[in-house]
Amino acid sequence: MQAIILAAGRGNRLRPITDKMPKSLVKVNGKPIIANDLDALAKHKEVEEAIIVLGYKKELIKRRIGEDYKGLRITYIENNDWASTNNIYSLWLAKSRIVDDFILMEGDIFFDHSILDYVFKNRDKSIAFLSRPHYKMTGTVVEIDERGSKMMSGAIVEMDEECNKIRRLIPSSEQGLNFDYSDKYKTLNIYYFTHDFFKKYFEPNLDIYIKTHGDKSYYEIVLGVLIYLNTPNIAGHIVDRKKWYEVDTEDDLEMASYLFSKEEERIEKLANLYGGYWRHDFTDFCFLFNLYFPPPHLYSKLAHDMPLLINNYPSAQHKISSLLSQWYTDEGFIKDNLVVGNGSSEFIRIFNRHFIKKITIPVPSFNEYEDLDRSQINYLDLDEKSNFVLDADKFIQSANRSSSNFAVIINPNNPTSTVTKKDDIIRTLENLKHLDGIIVDESFIDFTGDRENHSVQPLINQFANLIVLRSLSKEFGIPGLRLGYIVTSNRKIRREIKRHLPIWNINSIAERFIELFPRYQKEYNRSIEQIVDDREKLCTQLRGVRMLRVFHGKANFVFCKILSENTNSKQLRHKLFSDYNILIKDCSNKTSLDDKFVRISVRKPQENKLLVNALKEIEKEIAST
């Protein structure tokens, strides 16, 4: 058997990396893409020769690979017109060297070596390797009759004696704006062809196409013609999309590096992103947001308005505050008291940089509040024996003794989910009137299920130093829109905050959401009720996991302590991610907590059940060791 690797191109979208090397020598986790291709081929003694079609900076590949690679004989073919031709010409240049069955692949695919195992069990048929399309994948897709083989999680599962028959091959040029990908498969640009198929069908049509249409196209067009003419069919073999990645851009390179990292490294890479999880295929029990809101109609309305919103500037702060003031009838919730921000983190950063001399923070807490010099923070440790509930008297004493000019209460608290009683917050406000500011962060307040009896937002006119801060990401399910607000009757604080905001700190889509929300208040209330119900059921289910102590809170997440001596928060997070594709929050980076605490967000019942079952299986495994 032979292999052909098409590696003539430069990879312009990978510049400046490819200014100094061809695309196929770009490294994924320290290994050049072409070296990974050859390593996979060299594992199979049936493959005797690898034919590499070179072009851009060809000498670098020759120097890196040589004439023999781990027992593989290496033959080089040079495409001197690489800059003006495409892969159909590179393949055509190699055709005279093809004397056996062969594997054909592009030199920019980084893949799991096990993918090729299927070839050597099915050498009697030509094969196209396929995968479900990822949201950002482009290129040729196919329609198939799903009757053949699939490879998932490393195992090949035969679904029928026949392979998936490819009905149609669709190049990217035929994939319009509203193209339906739901029943399509992306080609990996890895194929296996029998010598008989190549000589009888592929090569003659390749010659005809080159003569009649030139050398600037893709060889997949020829395959599409063969499929259309119903020649002996190419079988489709479906591969898990986690087992390969096509590297065209620097973002692709980052994704490939992530996919082929060790599990522990993958988790750390995710943590360092602080979002963008739509690019990754796992169940997120780490970030906190409402999965039941916005409703489909609101999404549709925003989608309909999108061209108008993108083509127009957002309004200034006073207009956006006016729109937001329609949300609540609380006393003092008026446009003059409101400032709208790009998420709550924008306000926290301003407070930390321009207001706070020293702040009293009950811990554990949201880490952004601690983004200060250590000398500026007065920590008050919340007592585990009291279920991490804030003691208002201790808080007042600590703030006074430390000479703090600011204090913060998160209610419900993150990460503990515990609630501070409204009366305790009022007593705190009455006793700390001399502070410059008391921030009450109510980003999870609606999840209590009883906002009226927990929120101090209606009290802002009564306390001049009260600042109610709220992120809209969690409760309203819009973390990508980046919205938050503060409401305070303190004119000096509002004026100083606005001084540090740009004229346009909120985008037009977020502004439109603020404008539309009052129409969807009923749907929002129902979504909160559903989450409260889901949380209570999840707490009950988690209590059935004996290695966990569950702290019953009032947010959209559950705070737990690991009771087993044989695992910790980091190990449990790693086990859930590597074996069950689930990500939870390891709280060992929280001030005052050790490595025995985790935070689990509330998702929909079916997903919650999967998590609980995974934890029970891990518990059994730990008990047996």
Mean of the per-residue pLDDT values of the chain: 90
Supply 114's token pair: 């096990």
pLDDT of residue 158: 32
pLDDT at 459 over 80: yes
**Residue carrying structure tokens 């937001």:** 324
Average pLDDT value for residue range 182-208: 88
| Mode of pairing for the β-strands spanning 149-152 and 27-28 | unpaired
**513 lies in the same domain as 442:** yes
Render pLDDT for 531-551 as a digit per residue (tens, 0 to 9): 999 999 999 999 999 999 999
Looking at the chain, the whole-number percentage of residues with pLDDT higher than 70 is 95
Structural domain contains residue 597:
yes
Neighbours of 264 (CB within 10 A): 13
Give me the pLDDT at residue 136, please: 61
Given 489, 519, 549, the domain boundary residue is: 519
**Contact at 8 Å (CB) between 293 and 523?**
yes
Which residues lie below 8 Å from residue 205, measured CB to CB, with a gap of 6+?
A: 222, 225, 226
CA distances from 53 to 9, 111, 555 (A): 9, 19, 59
pLDDT at 418 over 60: yes
- Which residues partner with 74 through β-bridges? 50
**pLDDT for position 263:** 78
Query: Does 492 lie in the same domain as 566?
Result: no
Closest CA to 601 of 542, 558, 544, 554: 558
Contact 444, 602 (CB under 8 A): no
List the structure tokens of 241: 């999309």
Q: Determine the average pLDDT of the residues in 181-185.
A: 77
Least confident span in 261-275, 291-305, 311-325, 428-442: 261-275
Q: What is the pLDDT of residues 79-108, one digit of tens each?
A: 999 988 888 999 999 999 999 999 999 999
pLDDT surpasses 90 at 268: no
Q: Is 445 exposed, middle or buried (0-12, 13-18, 19+ CB in 10 A)?
A: buried
pLDDT of amino acid 138: 67
Task: Look up residue 193 and give its two tokens.
Answer: 């062809």
Tokens of 245: 């990645």
**Whether residues 547 and 477 fall in one domain:** no
Q: Which of 118-122, 161-165, 224-228 has the highest mean pLDDT?
A: 118-122
311 lies in the same domain as 196: no
- The pLDDT, as a whole number, for residue 308 is 95
Residue pLDDT, tens place only, 315-328: 999 999 999 999 99
Both tokens of residue 468?
């109610």
Q: What is the pLDDT of residues 361-405, one digit of tens each?
A: 999 999 999 999 999 999 999 999 999 999 999 999 999 999 999
Q: Do residues 197 and 235 touch, judged by C-beta distance below 8 A? A: no
pLDDT for the residue 137:
62
With respect to residue 263, please indicate whether it lies within any of the assigned structural domains: no
Q: Which residues are CB-neighbours of 319 under 8 A, at least 6 positions away?
A: none
Distance (Å, rounded) from C-alpha 95 to C-alpha 73?
Answer: 17
Q: What does the pLDDT read at residue 147?
A: 53
Residues 284 and 249 in one domain: no
Q: Is the domain of 224 the same as that of 362?
A: no
Which pLDDT score, from 0 to 100, does residue 150 have? 42
In a domain, 487, yes or no: yes
Mean local confidence (pLDDT), 218-241: 79
- Spatial separation of the C-alpha atoms in residues 166 and 173, rounded to whole Å: 19
Query: For position 363, which CATH number holds?
Result: 3.40.640.10
Which has the minimum average pLDDT: 119-133, 490-504, 604-618?
Answer: 119-133
Q: Give 234's pLDDT tier (boundaries 50, 70, 90).
A: confident
Banded pLDDT at 178 (limits 50, 70, 90): confident
- In this structure, the answer to whether residues 361 and 417 fall within a common structural domain is yes
For residue 11, the one-letter residue type is G
pLDDT (average), residues 37-60: 94
> Do 95 and 24 fall into the same domain?
yes
Q: What is the CATH number of the domain that holds 595?
A: 3.90.1150.10
Tally of domains within the chain? 3
Whole-number pLDDT of residue 152: 36
- In a shared domain, residues 498 and 564: no
Degrees, nearest 5: CA angle 188-135-506? 155
Tokens 């957002």 appear where?
A: 314
Q: Can you tell me the distance from the alpha carbon of 322 to that of 460, in angstroms, rounded to the nearest whole number? A: 17
Q: Has residue 1 got a pLDDT over 50? A: yes
* Closest residue by Cα to residue 187 from 94, 95, 111: 111
> Is residue 469 included in any domain, yes or no?
yes
Choose one of 499, 519, 539: the last residue of a domain: 519
The reply to whether 272 falls in a domain is no
pLDDT grade for 159, boundaries at 50, 70 and 90: very low
Mean pLDDT value of segment 568-597 = 94
| CA trace torsion 254, 256, 257, 260 (10° rounding) | 160
Which helix (H) or strand (E) covers residue 206, if one does? helix 203-213
What is the model's pLDDT at position 169? Answer: 77
Mean pLDDT of 483-499: 97
Count CA within 13 A, CB hemisphere, residue 19. 3
Which of 477, 496, 519 finishes a domain?
A: 519
**Structural domain boundaries, residue 366:** 296-519
CATH number (domain holding residue 26): 3.90.550.10
Considering the domain architecture, whether residues 458 and 607 belong to the same structural domain is answered as no
Report if residue 259 sits inside a domain: no
Give pLDDT tens digits for 13-39: 999 999 999 999 999 999 999 999 999
Any domain includes 458: yes
Buried b / exposed e along 495-525 (16+ C-beta atoms within 10 A): eebeeebeeebbbbbbbbbbbbbeebeebbe
Asked whether 459 and 468 are in contact (CB, 8 A), the reply is no
Same domain, 185 and 208: yes
Q: Is the pLDDT of residue 232 over 50?
A: yes
Domain assignment of residue 270, yes or no: no
Kindly state whether residues 100 and 13 are assigned to the same domain. Answer: yes
> pLDDT digits over 99-144, tens only?
999 999 999 999 999 999 989 988 888 888 888 776 666 667 776 6
- Residue matched to tokens 């070839």: 119
DSSP 3-state assignment of 274? coil
Residue type, 356: I
Our separate counts of H helices and E strands in the chain read 19, 28
- Give the pLDDT score at 625: 76
